[in-house]
Amino acid sequence: MSVTSAESGKGMPLHTKILVGLVVGAVLGLVLKLTLGADHTVVQFLNRYVAGPLGQIFLRLLFMVVVPLVFASISLGVASLGDLKRVGRIGLKTLGFFFATMAVSVSIGLLLVQILQPGTRISPETRAELMATYASDASSKVVASQTATFGIETLVGIIPRNPVAAAANLELLGIIFFGIIFGVALTMITAERARPMIGVLEALNDIVIKIVEIAMKLAPFGVAALIFGVTSRFGWVLLKPLAVYVTVVLCSLALHTIVTFPAILRFIVGISPFTFFSRVKAPMITAFSTSSSSATLPTSIATAEQNLGVPSKVAGFVLPLGATMNMNGTALFEGVTVIFLAQAFGVTLDLGQQVVILMMAVITALGAAGVPGGSIPLLVGVLAMFGVPGEGIALILGVDRVLDMARTVVNVTGDLVATTFIAKSEKLWSAAAVPVPGVEAGAGALDESPNWPGPSDVQPTVERDERSRLP
Ligand code: ASP
């Protein structure tokens, strides 16, 4: 989904247009708030008949795709693992590593957002007003009541009695559960039977991604309208918490990159973090400039093989899987954003709900496409699940471009760390195999493992993302 980087029409790239929309909407709203005041008839008229509907149209287009997108991406992701028995131990180990590192990254983000509390820097009056203004969002109300408590019922409730009803009520966990079971069952029937369904799911996935692309063409106006609604009612007061939120996301991403990854590399993989980072600069820079894990995939594979000496069978299996499923930066971003917006809207979340947020951040990161803004529609779904009005994304969409660039770097770096971890733990590679620049390539494979799954085992996922990639 070419959300923020596509050239849309003449000249200006879409992400610049969104930024312009944000500035124009914010400044216009501020000026009117400071000169006429929020209660002036003109301001109220603009909010009611211009900015309000425009913002709603944009939001509804995003909401509209949440159910098909989550279902198609999760079931395809699971099905693309192929026959779990065949991929077996290595596949499960790879997935386990993805889950573990994503859980650590979200935890870092959650910790920092709790310490700095960007959303609570809003006064109680403003918060009450925010909630009163936006709480009419029906979908958020429905689901808020379902997640008010966390207990055994919540766990049982994840299994939907009726997947269609779960979809109608935007019960994200229920849709995800159904998607997972559907994907697992898809791998258990004969390939001949499964093929048409996989084709349908791939097409569905591509179609909803196209719809998001169309919606994002409206983003400059949608964002302008939504932020106008915010600043014309609330003035400056929300801008400082937003700056703190951006700082929290960027600092958490930095911490994960300079603490978690080096710790894994040094103590588990046994390679110097300096050597590692000096060899993976190309994919990191590519990720930063494209904001797309999928677009960076070819560079990542070449780098893992040529600069790190990782055997191609490992790089060819772990990296494509990682580009779609292993998103450390995205998971962190989603966790922090949900908590920030919940704080901003005065939605209190108990510990149990925060654990659910951690889980949801990891699961939705698994389902997000590795393209610019790939996580935004899923994020909108998670917000609704916790009773946070979807309008909340207006606050963050304008700054998302820079966050997307940063989180994609972390996503791609996490994939490369995972590749060295798997290669090392399978005794197929060691730090000694890292080629020294200017010297003949390293030994690479140390051993031949007959059980190693081939890159074809993850083919559907790769194809899916290749197609949804920007030209
Ligand atoms: N841009 C991210 C990636 O491609 C996905 C996202 O978080 O939006 O890895």
Ranges 162-166, 198-202, 436-440: which has the least confidence: 436-440
Residue 418's pLDDT is what? Answer: 97
Ranking 351-360, 364-373, 400-409 by mean pLDDT, the lowest is 364-373
- CA 203–ligand 1 middle distance (angstroms): 21
Q: Provide the pLDDT for residue 335.
A: 95
For residue 411, the ligand 1 atom closest to its alpha carbon is 9
Look at domain 14-438+463-468 and name its CATH class.
Answer: mainly alpha
What does the pLDDT average to over 390-410? 84
> What digits encode the pLDDT tens for the residues 288-312?
878 888 888 888 888 998 899 998 8
Q: In angstroms, what is the span from residue 379 Cα to ligand 1's centroid?
A: 12
Q: Quick one: pLDDT band at residue 53, thresholds 50, 70, 90?
A: very high
Say if residues 255 and 261 touch (Cβ distance below 8 Å).
no
The rounded Å distance from CA 45 to ligand 1 centre is: 37
Which of 3, 253, 336, 371 should be mutated for ligand 1, with most atoms under 8 A from CB?
A: 371
Q: Is residue 246 very low, low, confident or very high in pLDDT (cuts 50, 70, 90)?
A: very high
Burial of 36 (0-12, 13-18, 19+ CB in 10 A): middle
The pLDDT of residue 428 is above 90? no
Q: Average pLDDT over the chain, rounded to whole?
A: 81
- Give the position, in ligand 1's atom list, of the atom nearest the Cα of 373: 8
Taking each continuous run of H as one helix and of E as one strand, the counts in the chain are 23, 0
Write down the pTM of the prediction: 0.75
| Bigger pLDDT: 398 vs 358 | 358
Dist CA 201 CA 358 (whole Å): 27
In the prediction, which pLDDT does 451 show? 56
- For a substitution probing ligand 1, which of 366, 404, 412 has the most ligand atoms within 8 Å of its CB? 404
Q: What is the mean pLDDT of residues 54-63?
A: 82
Kindly give, in sequence order, each residue whose CB lies less than 8 Å from that of residue 274, ignoring residues fewer than 6 positions away: none
Distance separating alpha carbons of residues 379 and 130, to the nearest angstrom: 20
In the structure, which protein residues have their CB atom closer than 6 angstroms to any atom of ligand 1?
291-293, 327, 330, 368, 370-375, 404, 407-408, 411
Which ligand 1 atom sits closest to the C-alpha of 330? 7
Of 367, 116, 133, nearest in space to 230 by CA: 133
CA of 370 to the centre of ligand 1 (A): 5
Q: In the chain, pLDDT over 70 holds for what percent of residues?
A: 84
At 87-125, the pLDDT tens digits run 667 778 988 999 999 999 999 999 999 999 888 877 777
Torsions phi, psi of 357, nearest 5? -60, -40
B/e letters for 242-270, b = 16+ CB within 10 Å, e = fewer, are bebbbebbeebbebbbeebbbebbeeebe
Nearest-atom number in ligand 1 for the CA of 333 is 7
